[in-house]
Each structure stands twice: as structure tokens, then as C-alpha cells.
Amino acid sequence: MKLVLAVVQDDDSGELVERLVKNKFSATKLASTGGFLKEGNTTLMVGVPVEQVEEVIGIIKEVCRSRKQTFTTPIPPTGSASVFIPYPIDVMVGGATIFVLDIDRFEKV
């Protein structure tokens, strides 16, 4: 068994847990914040048989890979809205930091 610790964005954590559970991995979510000023991340802890570590990392990469997301600028709250044309902006979202640790002993009670 290995212990996979993954720090992911809050917004990706729901889908990641869903995908892991669907593949029969049992993930525990730890409330967490931070990492270079980024708010709102989640740390997942997953006990994984050695031969499935690759599969779990693959799922994390698929769901959480850092990617561009296009938002439309909101209409400014005050003033000359009549001349304002909303335009798309690209923001990087996602990303994950993954630590795989050896387990000395594993028990289910």
C-alpha cells in the first residue's frame, strides 16, 4: 500500500472524489488552505495498493490538470455601462501537488 496525498483546488475536489470513488478508491478529504497565497484548496488522502498508484495519479491529472478557463468580464457596477463591451479573459485554474508516501503498516478495523 502507498498513501497518496494530493493538494487540489476546491473546485476540482468534488469531481475528483467522485471519480476516485467510482473507481473503488476510498478518499478522505482534509480541510486545507494556502500554498503560495492560493485560497481554497483541499487535501485528499488516498490509501492505494502499489500496483494502482499509476491509475490514481492518472485520474488526478485528468481531473485537476492546470488549464485555461475563459471568463467573460462582468459589466462594471457603476458608470458608463452603455459604452462597455464585455470581453473574454483567460484564467489559469486547476493544478495539483501529489505526494506518494510508503506505508509501513495498514489496517482496517
Residues that bind its own copies (CB under 8 A): 1-3, 5, 7, 17, 21, 26-37, 41, 43, 45, 47, 53, 57, 60-61, 64-66, 94-109
Helix (H, G, I), strand (E, B) or coil at 8: strand
Question: What sign results for the dihedral spanned by CA atoms 41, 34, 69, 46?
Answer: negative
From the CB of 29, what's the least distance to its own copies, in Å? 4
From the CB of 10, what's the least distance to Ni ion, in Å? 4
Q: Which is nearer to its own copies, 31 or 83 (CB)?
A: 31
Return the one option of its own copies, Ni ion, none that residue 40 interacts with (CB less than 5 to 8 A, by type): Ni ion
Residue carrying the nine cell digits 483567460: 90
Which residues, in sequence order, are bridge partners of residue 62? none
Q: How many CB atoms lie within 10 A of CB 9?
A: 19
From the CB of 38, what's the least distance to its own copies, in Å? 9
Helix (H, G, I), strand (E, B) or coil at 36: coil
Return the one option of Ni ion, its own copies, none that residue 5 interacts with (CB less than 5 to 8 A, by type): its own copies
Q: Closest Cα to residue 43, out of 22, 74, 64, 21? A: 64
* 76 counts as binding Ni ion under rule CB under 5 A: no
* 10 counts as binding Ni ion under rule CB under 5 A: yes
